Structure 1
Amino acid sequence: MRALPSLLAGLLTAVLLTVACTDGSGRPEVRLGVGATVEQRALAGLTRVTLEELGLEVRVVPDIGDTVDVRAMMLDGDLDLYWDYTGAAWSLGLGRAQPSADPRESFEAVRAADVANGLRWYGPTQANATLALFVRAAERPADDAGTMSWLAGQLATVPGGLCADEDFLNRPAGYAALADAYAIATTSVSTVAAGEAKAITSVASGECYAALATATSGTAVSAGLLPVIDDQGVFPAFVVAPVVREGGRADTEAITQALDEVSARIGTLDLAELNARVTAGEDPAEAAADLLGAE
């Protein structure tokens, strides 16, 4: 395993002095909540590598469920740390309306709102796990030209149309809202109801032109697809960030500084590639160590 940034080594002594609870072996223990997705397992791998480099024992509490379930355990004091998504926390965890599409605004709003709940948001990463429409890499224009505005025109003229899950296609805040924002000629665009995995394979095989998936989809990356840019900001931001419980075992300057350092190195494509490796069967911690050790 290649070493993490030198910052982590310099924090080791401070961590050992400030985290009192241990796992019985004398190593300080932090309880990490993990949701029931590949991405949550990948993020758990990042956390394990980061905290174990600091001499901590990470006790993973796996397959908890969604944002609401993990937050509930945090608020009950049963966890010290987990990774959340700003859009999910805003809508599901906090019960607020109109989540922002701007990543920075989304993060700042959730961070401020959760202070009253004793949850401290750190980072954030540059990874935005929002929804996105994917096309084959060969079809997407280079750089900033590969936008939803471009895709809206393509969908009306090219064969294949859009593959997306049935809920997105039918609810007013889904396809209808997207079509309204981008002036998509829905009467000229064929749509196929398909879950994320099926939508991705359908685009890769040429059956569909575009697929709806999360922007950090490892399956889409592995299939050679690229997301288009949501230039009108229709999809809410789902910024990925570590969340620490106030007064918990991870609530130390040394640990949160290490989490900030790791978060700064993770972008949307980085997380998608990490997800792809975990989906393919690679151990999350080994894949994370390779990512963090890369120059």
Structure 2
Amino acid sequence: ESSNSSSSITTAAADQESMDRMEVVETLCGINLPGHLHTKESLQFAQDFEFRDNDVVIVTYPKSGTTWMQEILTLIYSKGDSMPAENIPNWARAPWLEQHYFKDLVRNGSGPRLITTHLQYRFLAKALGRSKAKVIYITRNPKDVAVSFYHFHKMANFLPDPGSFNDLLKKFLDGTVSFGSWFDHVKGWHNQKNAVNIFYITYEEMKMDLRGSIERLCNFLHFPLLPAVVDSIHKHCTFTNMKDNKMANYTLIPNEIMDHQKGKFMRKGEVGDWKRHFTVEQSIIFDNIYEDEMRGTSLQFTW
């Protein structure tokens, strides 16, 4: 059933109605979102969603390790069996709450449902407040996020032309890129650490100690696994293995939507790639804005 659903979603993504929305921009409280993926109805569906207590919600700002976490959780809940990860696209295993393709898949999933979202906390606060759903929030060095987002814009035909890296960086820093402000996203979710059953982890922690990160996730999920199973998940979920898995690397998406000649969805997966893109001046400007935006928060990052 999942394979059939994923196939129909891939087909739907390329149908004429969806292609006609490639240039459409939806807005949610001033935040721009690609109309190819979002409609007013799908965004309302997300805000009204009835979460179940055993749901697991993956939350990220774009380009922060979403696909990686989808893969890890797939393998945890399959107890190390790689069959789902190798045969079912990640968007069918952990569908997007706010994207219009996945309404039925999200709503009708069975138990523990893996659900993915890029939405800020304020849009899901009411819905999450009605349940004990577990939230896993991944954040990443925003300089690396900006670089990855820039390269993604160049291949994703449903996102606006980024112009130069400096052009995109300015929009990233003032929060006018698609999906809104990185700062608002991170602070909004972190401020709910006492209101929501939430697990925080950084992309950099996962890079430094993937096996330990998997163990921590298992503890949070109350889903213990034997060491040998954790070892197999660790092996499967390395960047090298995942980038060649067509069920995770988005090569199933047609070129009209993601131009695979212009780049790879899973590009490098490195920590610190920003140093190859930022000028000294850009880095200083970024650091000053970061300091102003994050002043007063208790957030601790390993980078």
TM-score bracket relative to the smaller structure: under 0.3
TM norm structure 2? 0.23
Which gives a bigger RCO, structure 1 or 2 (Cα 8 Å, sep 6+)? 1
Flag the structure with larger Rg: 1
TM norm structure 1? 0.24
